[in-house]
Structure 1
């Protein structure tokens, strides 16, 4: 490929393109590059100013592979591998320095985090990432004072790169593949036409496109406003300082490794013969909340070093040579944040042929991989890895500007916070956004709540009013005894759980059955009260989302789906419903609540409050009836996720408090207890129940996840059927299993590596302690040939090699006798 000067645009802008990428930062250019490389050469990028204007050009350019998420680690690994190849492909330096990095641990919990991340690195193919002691830290960084440290994490893949050079290198290659880049061409209007294609008006003319990608960085919401929506993104100030040359570094032949101290909250790396020190302030500042100035491009903001003094002082105590160089430059530039700190990638809710590639606070390290995965999303319908945690539809309308700014500021101040389970969900900012009518009652009962998709959901119930707070840890924490008690109560008596956060739809109309038959691999309920579980498949046969459907007396179908993917499901249903003449889709999530009543005394409790016949003969397992309970209309479904006799009681939300209080009153004689999500998760793993987002993802096929019972290939047609039939002829390489683990105080959490005779053979998807069976359990995918009973395995949990063995897929009540009692 002959070199192409990225500063020279073609003489004429095209008036049509298959894809238009709006924004010339590293993420937009990466998307363009990967589309063109994949053969989609009729693609165009338009940029308001120069490439890298915005946040890219002033970024520090650090390249960590570190993440507490396996798939984000894979994404960042893809970036690093791509950047390593660019210099050779273009014949130009991209300023890549692979120095490696160390992260410091002051506490046991931080060291546990590093041990967990080292396990993720094994799964991601990053050999050499390891937890090291203080002696090794000194070898790696001779200027580091290790006093007070317990060790650290060594990552040999880390380093830094020149953001402008790497962006221009990808732009050059994209052009070589046939893509078009037009700079100094701001977008002024965007209209979606009747055929779902786009008309994009720019300063240099009108472009018609099949698909648009919003990669406009901190101007993404300016572009979004032209379309009619807003993203949950905002800009924050980020400062770092560059020192003059430091004498101790002048004669060194090799760069120091990049150093991060997450507990003090800074990164430090060598830049030439000086250093860059980047603190994350405890009291961060939002920028341009009311809108980015029109002319702002490659400018910087006014530095305010006084905000950094405490962190700078602590860093100088650890690395004394910082004080040997004067401050040469202070960079203060805007970077984009979302409420959870992760970018917005993929389809945009409510629109067709519109994708997001925005909200990157770590755009350099994530840009290369994000462009690759987004190109796959556009071309194939989903990326090669499950990226729900980055999906642009993971937030609802609750994430308005005020929420976004407040949560982003909280996140920045806790940039290096431990990522223990539930930690983010229990942060204090912007709580009680979505609550149910019994929220205050549960709060008074010492419920420890977490915020999930905006909903306040009880994780567990503290046994003492003096301790309704979770102590975050990677091991069983202060919730352990309480959750055990909740599980034992559900097993032996009866428990009640608020699951109102379920996403709920009603599908009605003459075409409702045909519509559901097309998206469901399972048979659609045929008579009133029938219930079916369905797992919507991708074209490759993996699971996009799951739902239960119940045929109501009215003839409508009642759908219950995972809480978090409400907008994804709404899009999926809306886009496919256009092919049917008589169909109505109503999202009733905010109108209907759900209470779970489960345990061997559940029938006796409910019988006190209804005239309905609850016997096995009149009300069999896995059927539903519309009944009256203390005067409230209830859709009672005889099923649950904990493996005990019980009902899901769906009701108009205005009746919830009266219904809940009546159930508690009726259950007092039977020792009724409230239980939370931790207990439910423990009990569902004992039953071997798969869950969306863990065992059921787009990464593994439905058959590999043991869902064949719910897939009826004798049906004439449903989405993904061809892939299912092909897999039956040639089974997938992995299969989901349930494992008993000889664990210590820490159970598997998911994404731990699984070994057989020293060889990596799979990964966990979920784990918990099973309090009804008194065993530590894990679910995970392993090589198919090993998925037989009693196969001996090893799972690495926080650096410890724990013996495990494959057991039957349902450990608790395997015949379902308790469910059907």
Structure 2
């Protein structure tokens, strides 16, 4: 056995598939002094008992790309290393047993087409020919993805470990990490029971042990352990070696072939959390007692699909704990709390499918300090304050596990762990018919039921127009013709203070914020490739202080991005003041008529122009008013201390009665911003999109002699031209757009929608998406094509739009 080195460039903790894949990819990138430490034996945590299905399609293009990379890697790793992996690209079937599930499957097929994957829709009889053991009496249809497959988890991990060694990495088993040495916020070394390894970077891939370990160093990793069972049968007559994997979500079950028999497992609606009080000492290569009583519900559902299970011999009922997360996505990236501490964990029972791609992405992240592409849906920075509480995380994760195979409804909200974070107006708005959604623990009104009409403030999910459609239409009409009041207290709000605050933002912001006190600037913050990392507003409230407002879900991410990109040597500090201020947004053409009745301050356009921030008085409250809009109408965001929220709300509501003022929620914000063409970070824009590609070049200070992060990349792109452009599309009003629909230009696939919805003023369904072409995209190319969108596998005629669909100055629509 080799001796533990005293130094290493990077140390990986955990020898499961994620850790070994990360070691493999780091070594391939030239990090040959990478050290992987496993406390027991490789795969002995949870990898060894994984079921091993490898599917690719997810609702996010980049996660799908990451899973597709896994397939590419598994196709070649056996030849590279000489070790068998059990990898078979035998395809994957997904069944639909009712019309709503069939709609979901058809939308998934369109998503696959958008992302460049082959997914075929089959009749029940065609599905039976691929999977002859099943009863198809209740089938409506099925989808088949030929590039899906299955692998032996332990074998493929060992192959990755060998590949890592061949490339120069070193792996140590039976080496327990006991501590991390940190000095002045910097990692200095990893301490083990075999000695000390000096290093600067640590990658924690410790599976279900990751949360407790990381917590010791102030890092929050929201995952918990859940029991997960699957059955392995004796050989069954008629099971071919190339039998596709099968997912039967209406029966909550999955299947794969194994040695002539079947592996069958599922996701029960009443899962059992494990290790609530901590993982037992010495737990490795360990399984839990089989729970036949709990598995019975899955077995009954499976017998209806595969009658042969009734007489099949059962080898084992494997009960192995695995780590799951509150939103069903895995956790990857550099921890915001500790520099150079990276995490790859919480894979929700699809760690084998994600293992190759996640290891690649982690290695790239460590190597370059940023991910290879936008991985926001899996980024550790998507979490926030509620996720520090393990009980809250477990409560939400139980719900997410139970929904693993339930219908993925558009606009679906979680119900567990609520209410958690509440605006001071929560009870008031609830009494007025608010139907709340939740983001980062915050309760936010999505729409308002008219209680006088007997409407109930409850979502009823479907793939068509949902029950709130007309209610949001009322709010939309009020926003366009009168005024609405929106509780946006959940906005993330930061204060950047210090003598060098302006200089710091000059560097971090793409737009020019070096303006006089009272100026409000919409800006992006870019990475070195010109990609949009943050999309927010910056108000200058003093010479040495700025007020920064961003979206609710981006609180951790944006705070981390700003704080880590303040140039060394500059004297300024960033503070999160989200919980200090409530926010009431007063929007609509009559907004000024309402505001003048509650303040003595001059809010005329001359005294209070667009893009400014002023302190005004309302009902005894000092209100920081921001003249800005995300709905395309005259309006103000009113930021005020939380203790004044009820008083100011009451004053505005009373003053607004004569002007048609209505309560409104987040669903109407979406429909309004789609009509106006405003971009949404996380869907329309993000790290993979530059301002030039997104139509936001006007918000970049290229004409000014001010250097900023990403400037070089933007200048180069402006000179060379762009290869994708964000465009608007409209289709007939009866077509429901949700995002991920495929864009066709002259019959050729050129992209997909990043967002979709309905515009009540324009009377059409609206989508936004990037039109892509390797040879470049310009106005002539865009305008010379004819367009279609694929929606649930059906193509519909679409009209392309380069400009906003709604212009309040012209009081007309452009359709």
TM-score using structure 1 length: 0.95
Could you tell me how far apart the structure 1 residues matched to 2:627 and 2:329 are? Answer: 38
- Please name the residue that 1:767 is paired with: 756
- Please name the residue that 1:813 is paired with: 807
- Please name the residue that 2:251 is paired with: 264
Q: What is the number of equivalent residue pairs in this alignment? A: 803
| Contact 1:645–1:818 (CA under 8 A) maintained in structure 2 | no
- Please name the residue that 2:564 is paired with: 575
**CA shift for structure 1 position 48:** 0.4
Partner of 1:504: helix, strand, or coil?
A: strand
Alpha-carbon spacing, 1:327–1:195, altered in 2? closer, same or farther (3 Å): closer
Alpha-carbon spacing, 1:600–1:28, altered in 2? closer, same or farther (3 Å): same
- Please name the residue that 1:134 is paired with: 124
Could you tell me how far apart the structure 2 residues matched to 1:373 and 1:203 are? Answer: 30
Could you tell me how far apart the structure 2 residues matched to 1:415 and 1:338 are? Answer: 11
1:340 aligns with 2:330: no
- Please name the residue that 2:8 is paired with: 17
Alpha-carbon spacing, 1:788–1:100, altered in 2? closer, same or farther (3 Å): closer
- Please name the residue that 2:698 is paired with: 709
| Contact 1:61–1:364 (CA under 8 A) maintained in structure 2 | yes
- Please name the residue that 1:94 is paired with: 85
Partner of 1:31: helix, strand, or coil?
A: helix
**CA shift for structure 1 position 816:** 7.3
Alpha-carbon spacing, 1:716–1:640, altered in 2? closer, same or farther (3 Å): closer
Could you tell me how far apart the structure 1 residues matched to 2:781 and 2:617 are? Answer: 46
Could you tell me how far apart the structure 1 residues matched to 2:808 and 2:485 are? Answer: 23
TM-score using structure 2 length: 0.96
Q: CA RMSD in A?
A: 1.8
Could you tell me how far apart the structure 2 residues matched to 1:310 and 1:760 are? Answer: 43
| Contact 1:248–1:321 (CA under 8 A) maintained in structure 2 | no
Could you tell me how far apart the structure 1 residues matched to 2:120 and 2:59 are? Answer: 14
Alpha-carbon spacing, 1:613–1:195, altered in 2? closer, same or farther (3 Å): closer
Which segment drifts farther, 719-728 or 311-320? Answer: 311-320
| Contact 2:435–2:459 (CA under 8 A) maintained in structure 1 | yes
Matches within 5 A, 1:39-438: 39-127=30-118, 129-194=119-184, 196-249=186-239, 252=240, 254-361=241-348, 362-399=350-387, 400-423=389-412, 426-438=413-425
**CA shift for structure 1 position 818:** 10
**CA shift for structure 1 position 382:** 2.6
| Contact 1:191–1:227 (CA under 8 A) maintained in structure 2 | no
- Please name the residue that 1:451 is paired with: 438
Could you tell me how far apart the structure 1 residues matched to 2:274 and 2:505 are? Answer: 47
**CA shift for structure 1 position 192:** 1.6
Describe the superposition over 1:219-265 as per-residue Cα deviations: whole angstroms up to 9, x where unpaired.
1124213323342111111011111122333xx4x432222211221
| Contact 1:528–1:553 (CA under 8 A) maintained in structure 2 | yes
**CA shift for structure 1 position 817:** 7.5
Which segment drifts farther, 38-47 or 789-798? Answer: 789-798
**CA shift for structure 1 position 536:** 0.4
- Please name the residue that 1:552 is paired with: 541
| Contact 2:185–2:339 (CA under 8 A) maintained in structure 1 | no
1:794 aligns with 2:814: no
Could you tell me how far apart the structure 2 residues matched to 1:778 and 1:790 are? Answer: 19
Partner of 2:800: helix, strand, or coil?
A: strand
Which segment drifts farther, 786-795 or 712-721? Answer: 786-795
Could you tell me how far apart the structure 2 residues matched to 1:462 and 1:800 are? Answer: 33
Could you tell me how far apart the structure 1 residues matched to 2:331 and 2:482 are? Answer: 45
Describe the superposition over 1:467-512 as per-residue Cα deviations: whole angstroms up to 9, x where unpaired.
3221222332111111111101111111111111111111122111
Which segment drifts farther, 786-795 or 263-272? Answer: 786-795
Matches within 5 A, 1:408-807: 408-423=397-412, 426-464=413-451, 465-553=454-542, 555-577=544-566, 579-713=568-702, 714-742=704-732, 744-747=734-737, 749-783=738-772, 784-785=777-778, 788-789=782-783, 791-807=785-801
| Contact 1:634–1:651 (CA under 8 A) maintained in structure 2 | yes
Could you tell me how far apart the structure 2 residues matched to 1:391 and 1:209 are? Answer: 24
Could you tell me how far apart the structure 2 residues matched to 1:49 and 1:109 are? Answer: 47
Alpha-carbon spacing, 1:385–1:575, altered in 2? closer, same or farther (3 Å): closer
| Contact 1:263–1:416 (CA under 8 A) maintained in structure 2 | yes
Could you tell me how far apart the structure 2 residues matched to 1:79 and 1:479 are? Answer: 40
